[in-house]
Amino acid sequence: MTISTIVLLVIVAAVGLWAVSIFNGLVRLRNRYKNAFAQIEVQLKRRYDLIPNLVETAKAYMKHEAETLEAVIAARNAAAKGLSSVAADPSNAGAIAELAGAEGALTGAMGKFSMVMEAYPDLKANQNMMQLSEELTSTENKVAFSRQAFNDQVMAYNTFKQAFPAVIMAAMFGHGQDATLLEFEDSAQIQAAPKVSF
Amino acid sequence: MNFFQSQDAARHNTTKLVIFFILAVVSMIILANLLVMFVFGYIDSQTETPQPFNWDVFMTVGVGVLALVTMGSLYRIITLSGGGARIAELMNGKLIVNDSGDADQQRILNVVEEMAIAAGVPVPPVYLLDEMAINAFAAGYSPSDAVIGVTRGAIKQLSRDELQGVIAHEFSHILNGDMRLNIRLIGILHGILLLGLVGYSILRLSPRSRNSKGSGGVMFLGLGLVVIGYAGTFFGNLIKAAVSRQREYLADAAAVQFTRNPEGIGGALIRIGAGEKGAILDNPNSAEISHAFFCQGIASSFGSVFATHPPLDQRIGRILPTWDGKFIARPHVAQAPTVTSGSKASQNKKKMAMMAAGAAVLSKDELLRHIGNPGPAHLGYAKQLIMDLPTDIKRAAHDPHGARALVYCLVLDSKVDERQKQLHYLKTAADVGVYAEVIKLAQGVLKLNIEQRLPLVDIALGTLRQLSLPQYQVFKKNLTGLIQADGKINLFEWSLQKIVFHHLNGIFDKKAKGQNKEPSLKRTKEASTILLSFLVSALKQNGVSRQEAFAAAQQEMAWLKTELLERDTFNLDELDSALDDLAGLKPRFKSILLKGCAAIVSADQNVSIAEIELLRAIADTLDCPMPPLIS
């Protein structure tokens, strides 16, 4: 009786500790990927701040392209809205999809913008314009990089959650949903975009 | 108390705690046995058979208790030793990033950064706790994985000076080895508590039928375990609180010494006393790390005996002897001091530059005096240094993408053809964005002063902790490749690589952590000889022969009776592992070793910036953060 009771107690305690450690692991990994989003937020915000300046500079030259410019601004506003809803809760799959969509639209609009710009050599040579597009490119690189870090942390969370010991209890602990990767529609294009070629 | 004594004291306290712990466990085993004998004696008394003393039962019970307690302790220590970030994440902390546009958040980042540069440690990440109370904590095992946590209330309500006081207090915990002590404390207590918890669950689970004689016994067993466990925890908490309170006074004193501004930390404490919420946190997890906070973070039902922090009025009284005892928050004068310090800083600028540039005539004791013990002069120096950094470089150090490029740039050779080789390597190995960033930063980095480089690395290290594991692995590979690309490795490259990997491996490489066991005497001698011989061969001392320089070091280290090794008898890998082993030495031996190093550096009575930076790099890898040199 004594020996078996004590062995039993030790086992019960071990299982309890083990459950607690899985719970804590889930919380920790979720907070980690949420924190990884903070960097993306900073860079995307920066990108959204740069775009109106770019459009403002272009306006003086592109008198007849108001439509293209408006499309860029509209796409930028939609993406900025998407960003704020993801920033509020990076585990919200719907918000992430919305942001990814808006980002895709913005990339498209920017691509069109650079194409149109080809017809305005003066604008391309504008000092201010060159500086802005250079900064935009470097911001794109940073976005891509922090997005990679975010996705790595999301993967770490999902893998932990789906692997054997945790998978039994994840749903019970309120971690039923997988976290969503932030994939922009055309990742390769984003890396290069906006190609304001000079 | 200097850095080494303080570290030793922290370790000594740990030893004392372990002894207490062993005593507690032994007495718990005896008590549990008495309990079992009593319980089963009680059952058997019904059958009237006398019980002989049974060694088997004693052993079983002993092993059971021991297993439970060790399991509980180990579990807690392992979960907490995962680094400061882990604790911050468990507390639901939100990482504060640079350039987020929030003025309060930027201010706390700046305060932490200045403090870190002044102390010579990597800039710790700052986490925001969404609580309106005013509080802060430092967590982690060592300076390389330390984090700072602050509440929203603290960054909103405290003035810059007050924040500085609070952060200086937290830095003192980081530098004095309190965090390691804290983690052991929590672990040990958890083990003892587990026994009580098991007793409690027996009570809950035991069958309630009254006619079963056995169940009465089991219930009694449960009750007994609860009493033993909780009594153990009770006394454990007493010890924890007593140790913790002592360290709090020390940290307060250190904060005043660091900032030389008692009004700052004192003002923060007064504001806590005046506020409605005070320092009490809502997060249930805060109880466990209560002693790591700036101020008592949980309401304690037993009052002052269990308080992990001394009462507010006593702390304020020690800091501000003229305090009238009234908790009236002073009106913010936040704007005024920042303006004056700015103008003062520009006055000091020239002086600082002179101090840093001139080769200083310093004794070896002077060199070591400030390790882990920075003063207000260092703080002013750090502030100035950060202000003087070119904007684009400063910005690069703060975002993970740019920080990598910046570290790559730092190891670029100043000779054009060597540099071409390195750039060629980068072009093929790193991705396009990084290469472009390197090209953009390279010119600016080359123009940096020598003394700006290590602080930049300290800033970049804080940022690089945000990399994901795969990103870090690429970074590590590329940095190593870049350093080897030109076929030789210079002093700065070597120390930079040592510092970067020393701090980041602990974060990313689970295996590399906590393996700094104390080396044997033989190995200590061997490793010290390698290190000192390296220093002698690397640093040319004017008018002093290499043998003489080595002898100067030996004077500091009487037990080191060996010959100077020629440079070609050991390679850099051996030097690396020698340093890694020496990092496991006890603080007081590290102090002797560093004195030996300092003796070589100052053998010609003249200490150049390059020598200082090498010494700082070595001290850093030995976990003895050395503030920048100002005379």
pLDDT in tens, B497-530: 888 998 898 888 766 555 567 888 888 888 888 8
pTM of the model: 0.82
Distance CA B128, CA B91 (A): 10
Residue B505, chain A, CB below 8 Å: the answer is: no
Distance CA A89, CA B62 (A): 50
Does B433 contact A145 at a Cβ distance shorter than 8 Å? yes
Q: Which of B13-17, B427-431, B568-572 has the lowest mean pLDDT?
A: B13-17
Q: In terms of C-beta density within 10 A (0-12 exposed, 13-18 middle, 19 or more buried), how is residue A108 classed? A: middle
Handedness of CA B570, B571, B575, B580 (dihedral sign): negative
Q: Each residue of A95-131: pLDDT tens digit?
A: 999 999 999 899 889 988 888 888 888 888 888 888 8
CB B83 within 8 A of CB B140: yes
- Identify which has the larger pLDDT, B533 or B141: B533
CA distance B381 to chain A (A): 29
User: Encoding tokens for residue B626?
Assistant: 């050395």
CA of B257 vs chain A CAs: smallest distance (Å): 34
Which range is least confidently modeled, B53-62, B302-311, B416-425? B302-311
Distance CA B400, CA A141 (A): 11
Q: What is the pLDDT of residue B430?
A: 80
Catalytic site residues of B?
A: 170
Contact B44/A at CB under 8 A = no
Round the average pLDDT of chain B to a whole number and report it: 80
Q: Does B75 touch chain A (CB under 8 A)?
A: yes
- Interchain contact B74–A (C-beta under 8 A): no
Pick among B97, B106, B202, B438 to test the A interface (most A CBs inside 10 A): B97
For chain B, positions 454-493, list CB contacts with chain A under 8 A: 466-471
Q: What's the mean pLDDT in A72-83?
A: 93
Half-sphere exposure of B150 (CA within 13 A, CB side): 30
Name which of B35, B130, B468, B474 to mutate to probe chain A: the one with the most chain A Cβ atoms within 10 A of its Cβ: B468
Query: Quick one: pLDDT at residue B359?
Result: 40
Nearest to A152 among B63, B436, B469 (CB): B469
**B194 interfacial to chain A (CB closer than 8 Å):** yes
Q: How many Cβ pairs closer than 8 A exist between chain A and B?
A: 114
- Measured between CB atoms, does A88 come within 8 Å of chain B? no
A149 has a chain B CB within 8 A of its CB: yes
Percent of chain B with pLDDT over 70: 85
Handedness of CA B34, B39, B42, B45 (dihedral sign): negative
What are the tokens at B182? 């804290």
Q: Could you give the angle at which helices B262-274 and B312-319 cross, rounded to 10 degrees?
A: 160
Predicted confidence (pLDDT) at residue A134 exceeds the cutoff of 90? no
Q: What is the mean pLDDT of residues B354-375?
A: 62
User: What backbone torsions phi and psi does residue B95 show, to the nearest 5 degrees?
Assistant: -65, 130
**Residue reference for tokens 């995307």:** A44
Ranges B65-69, B187-191, B282-286, B378-382, most confident:
B378-382
Confidence of residue B208 (pLDDT cuts 50, 70, 90): low
Length of chain B: 631
Fill in the amino acid letter for B55.
W
Residue B349 has pLDDT above 70, yes or no: no
How many alpha carbons fall within 13 Å on the CB side of residue B612? 30
Task: Output the CA–CA distances (angstroms, integers) from residue A107 to B97, B411, B483, B562, in the order listed.
Answer: 25, 36, 38, 67
Segment B541-561, tens digit of pLDDT: 777 788 888 888 888 887 777
Percent of chain B with pLDDT over 90: 16
User: Which residues on adjacent β-strands are paired with residue B150?
Assistant: B128, B136
The set of residues, in sequence order, having a beta carbon less than 8 Å from that of B460 and lying 6+ positions away, is B397, B403, B406, B407
pLDDT for the residue B389:
92
Residue of A nearest to B86 (CA): A28
What pLDDT sits at residue B1?
56
Q: To the nearest whole angstrom, how far is the Cα of A36 from the nearest Cα of chain B?
A: 7
Q: Which of B147, B222, B237 is nearest to B190 (CA)?
A: B237
Give start and end residues of each alpha helix (H) in B305-375: 312-319, 335-357, 364-369
* Amino acid symbol at A84: S
CB atoms A2 and B60 under 8 Å: yes
Residues of chain B found within 8 Å of residue A17, distances taken between Cβ atoms: 71-72, 75, 194
B105 contacts B95 by C-beta, under 8 angstroms: no
**Average pLDDT of span B467-471:** 91
